[in-house]
Structure 1
Amino acid sequence: MGKARAIDGVLEVPVIDISAWLDGTDADRTAIAAAVDEAARTVGFMQIAGHGIPEGTVRSFADAQDAFFALPLEEKKRLRAPSPNINRGYTPPRTEKLSLSLGVPAPVEDLFEAFNVGTESGAFPGLDLPEADYPANIWPSVPGYRRAVEEWCTQADGLADRLLRIFARALGLDEDYFVPFTDHSLDVLRMNNYRVPDEEVVVDRNQMGMGAHTDYGIVTVLWADRVRGLQILDTDGAWHDVLPEPGCLLVNLGDLLARWTNDRWLSTMHRVLPPTDDAGRIIRRRSAAYFHDGNWDAEITVLPGCVPEGEEPLYPPTTVGRHLAEKLAGSRAGKLNENSPREAARLLGARNG
């Protein structure tokens, strides 16, 4: 990752308007691709304006999250998946350590609570996809919840597909290059809430809202409140706050795109500090990450032109399914991931604070 400016502790994440991608000129599309390439090289995050998702859809989705997370804890716990290997349903506070996905132990569990839904095998009839990788969703009986969440998934998926075409152009590839790798993609929407019960309003100094991690798949579309908490790690080992601009969605690259590009584009390390007021008391922060992770059976090897002549690729080949299983075994099942040495080294070299 190159250098990016921080102003008053907040990192400048480039705002890229992609509205002209669909109906602009070829020069417009080239300019958008160039801006994406610059952001991917220097920050690893970007803010997408002109994404076309209606404001009413955003409000309905946020309201649905509020309605679910307001349920009593015991009622939410009944919506947990039967096994931590199933990436669906409710995750109570203090049950995950995301740094384990990098092979780095954490002193305490992360504070956030979450609810996950994702692509089901039945969405692709005739492909005989494995139920373990495409499990059934678990839905709460909250009026309007499923409709609002599924609409958000539809919108986020459309944006992710558009972004992959932009990425392909930015990398000098045919715009449909990534289609065969994502036409039955393992997509997951994780909705996060950082407000813990009132009796736990002050946090431990080692406590993370969400521990340091890289995203596992190809690209993440993130909606978040404009509340401090999200931080990303630069190449000098320093953490910087990131705040979304009004009307923008944050987008960051995942591990698989870093592997494809041989770290020409980086999967940026990030974490979420407990969102607190001046007295150290936790305040509400919501986010929702749509992970566009690729086909479970897609093989990820370095892209043409991304390895300098005479050098070896930085990462061995892998499949989407294998990579995700290793990462999820860390974050959800508490097993130290030993197959992310490059990512672990970046976290271990970070400065405290």
Structure 2
Amino acid sequence: MAVPVLDFSVYQLGKENVSEADLEKLSDELRKAFTEVGFVYLKNTGINQEEVEKVMSVSKRFFSLPENKKKNFSRGNYSCNVNHGWVSLETESLNPRRPGDLKESFNTTSLREDINWPSEEVADFRDTQVSFFLRCKDLALKVLRLMAIGLGMDSEVFINEHKHIGSFENGSTLRSLYYPPVDSTSVKENQVRCGEHSDYGSISMLFQSTEDGLQVKNRAGEFVSAPCIPGTVLVNIADLMQRWTSDVYVSAVEKVMSVSKRFFSLPENKKKPFSRGNYTCNVNHGWVSLETESLNPRRPGDLKESFNTTSLREDINWPSEEVADFRDTQVSFFLRCKDLALKVLRLMAIGLGMDSEVFINEHKHIGSFENGSTLRSLYYPPVDSTRVKENQVRCGEHSDYGSITLLFQSSEDGLQVQNRAGEFVSAPCIPGTVLVNIADLMQRWTSDVYVSAVHRALLPPAGDSRTRQSLAFFVQPEDESIIKCCDGSDKYPPIKTVDYFTSRFNDTYGKKNESGLSGIL
């Protein structure tokens, strides 16, 4: 997937009176770019190409100085900021597994006039760097504001932690980079101009010269070229923003939903070859068509369809021709959810005063044929109220079957959960979060200390034709695990995971299933 280009003109530098609708539209486009690709070009930002070229020209005059002249301004020589200053060729290895990077740079981190600048050598060096730093600061704050809006958060939530850019309280840096000519006879094995890395802070804004060379890694794990587009700035998410947003900016929640929706949008005859029940490796893997399931058997079939990723094998039938990146996207997200689920299970054991590994020990084979944990991509199509059956809903009242469930939702309402008072309450999407609930086997396992949560998805209001999507990662113990009360009581009799699931599947699909089922809904 190519890096998208967004027009920033409605919110460019100098424009402050922007309509709420324009801000929301631009923030949505920005969020989509960051979550699906991770990088975005912004054009018409208010920073023009002439400004960029001036900074590059002044910087090149500095880099052209003899090394003994540049050493006086080396990074590490400044007591006001250890990152400020010149970095010589091959000093850095941004990928420590490679030799030193074939680049040099000058970091403008301090704006103070009373420190050592190369003013005699390059008279306008400081003024040019500081002026451009401040222009970039103003643009960065606008981008951070849009990013917060795109997550449904207060517009100032990120801004509030970036108020001191340009002071000693904040280490934001303008880095001028210079890649000198390469003598191929002296290049070391595996040496590159700049090794594979991620940036460390919130966001990075990159202005390039016209020479090619930059590659960025997209959400599919592929390196793609990101050439200079004159008049644009390339923006990417950095590490702290990923942590700050719980992986929303960088991880693939919207990417998975987007790829899944492309599959659900296929004609039915294209989806049928991937139907649940067609896979000998796992009977729960595959597509489930509209109204096939009744999670509450007393209601008509649920108005949803889904795709269960239960097997991760490459050699089974995936919709690779129809949706090229389908398997890679599902499997990658499955493995991310697995890692998170194991952390949650460990905390749950500690919270009960038990050995931290007691639940983990029965979930060691998630992703293999010995465990039926499932990533389920769910799609709720538009509802035609004239064709809805009596008591039909998008997803009937039910509890989940295994240990815990991780749920990621789109922004549309509909999900309700039953609280301890027996009342159904709304559980709307909160961007940047995952909704976690207890499932049946965990309730049995803990003798009702952790209680399985009943939930449902209702129909949208009359006239609301929006679709709805969610991603549910259903975590279950190994198929052959015997689940018995961990407090030593006999509140529930011991039961094998696969036997419990077989019983529940029979209810859901309204028929006797003779095969040993390994999977979850």
**TM-score normalized by the length of structure 2:** 0.47
Please name the residue that 1:193 is paired with.
Answer: 379
Q: For 1:260-294, what per-residue CA distance to the aligned partner results, in whole angstroms no more than 9, with x for missing partners?
A: 111111000111112x2443x44211011111101
How far apart in 2 are the matches of 1:137 and 1:191? 18
Asked if the contact 2:300/2:389 (under 8 Å) is kept, the reply is no
In structure 2, the partner of 1:60 is: 255
**Equivalent-residue separation in structure 1 for 2:449 and 2:421 (angstroms):** 17
CA distance in 2, matches of 1:321, 1:107: 26
1:93-112 maps to which residues of 2 (within 5 A)? 93-99=290-296, 105-112=297-304
Instruction: Identify the residue that residue 363 of structure 2 maps to in structure 1.
Output: 182
Deviation at 1:248, TM superposition (A): 0.2
Paired residue total: 261
Within a 5 Å distance, the mapping from 1:1-353 to structure 2 comes to: 51-52=246-247, 55-82=250-277, 86-99=283-296, 105-119=297-311, 138-141=317-320, 142-185=323-366, 186-196=372-382, 203-274=388-459, 276-279=460-463, 281-304=464-487, 307=489, 312-313=490-491, 315-335=492-512
Instruction: Please give the alpha-carbon distance, in whole angstroms, between the structure 1 residues aligned to 2:344 and 2:249.
Output: 18
Q: Distance in 2 between matches of 1:266 and 1:97?
A: 22
Partner SS, residue 153 of structure 1: helix
Query: C-alpha distance in 1, partners of 2:436/2:316?
Result: 25
| Residue aligning to 2:224 | none
Give, as a single letter, the amino acid of the residue that structure 2 aligns with 1:168: A
Partner of 1:74, secondary structure, is: helix
> In the alignment, residue 358 of structure 2 is paired with which amino acid?
Y
* Contact 1:53–1:155, Cα closer than 8 Å, also in 2: no
Greater relative contact order structure (CA < 8 Å, 6+ sep): 1
Cα distance change, pair 227–83 in 1 and its aligned pair in 2 (3 A): same
Task: Give the Cα–Cα distance (whole angstroms) in 2 for the partners of residues 138 and 271 of structure 1.
Answer: 31
Amino acid at match of 2:373: D
**CA 1:248–1:333: 2 relative to 1, 3 Å:** same
Whole-Å separation in 1 of the counterparts to 2:446 and 2:384? 47
For residues 286-337 of structure 1, what are the alpha-carbon distances to aligned partners after superposition, in whole Å with 9 as ceiling and x for unaligned?
01111110101111111127x5xxxx41x2110111111111122135459x
Q: Name the CA distance, whole Å, in 2 between partners of 1:320 and 1:50.
A: 35
Change (3 A) 1:201 1:161: farther
Contact 2:378–2:469 (8 Å) recurs in 1: yes
| Matched letter for residue 298 of structure 2 | A
The 3-state SS of whatever aligns with 1:192 is strand
CA positional deviation for 1:190 = 1.1
- Contact (CA 8 Å) 2:293, 2:302: kept in 1 or not? yes
Structure 2 gap ranges (5+): 1-243, 367-371, 514-521
CA drift of 1:246 comes to: 1.3
Q: Secondary structure at the match of 2:392?
A: coil
- Aligned CA distance change for structure 1 residues 151 and 157 (closer, same or farther; 3 Å): same
2:374 & 2:430 partners in 1: Cα distance?
A: 24
TM-score, structure 1 normalization: 0.68
Q: State the one-letter code of the partner of 2:424.
A: W
Change (3 A) 1:227 1:205: farther
Name the CA shift for 1:107/1:254 in 2 (closer, same or farther; >3 Å): closer
- In structure 2, relative to structure 1, the CA distance for the partners of 1:160 and 1:90 (3 Å cut) is same
Matched position secondary structure for 1:251 = strand
The CA distance in 1 between the partners of 2:277 and 2:450, in whole Å, is 36
CA contact (8 A) 1:190 1:288 kept: yes
- Identity over the aligned pairs, expressed in percent? 29
Amino acid at match of 2:263: F
Please state how far the C-alpha of 1:96 moved relative to its aligned partner.
1.0
Match of 2:19 in 1: none
CA RMSD of aligned residues (A): 2.6
CA contact (8 A) 2:257 2:471 kept: no
Structure with max Cα Rg: 2
Q: Give distance in 2, aligned partners of 1:59 and 1:149.
A: 12
CA separation of 1:166/1:106 partners in 2, compared to 1, >3 Å: closer, same or farther?
A: same
Which runs of structure 1 show a deviation greater than 4 angstroms over 4 or more consecutive aligned residues? 49-54, 198-202
The whole-number CA distance in structure 1 between the counterparts of 2:301 and 2:387 is 15
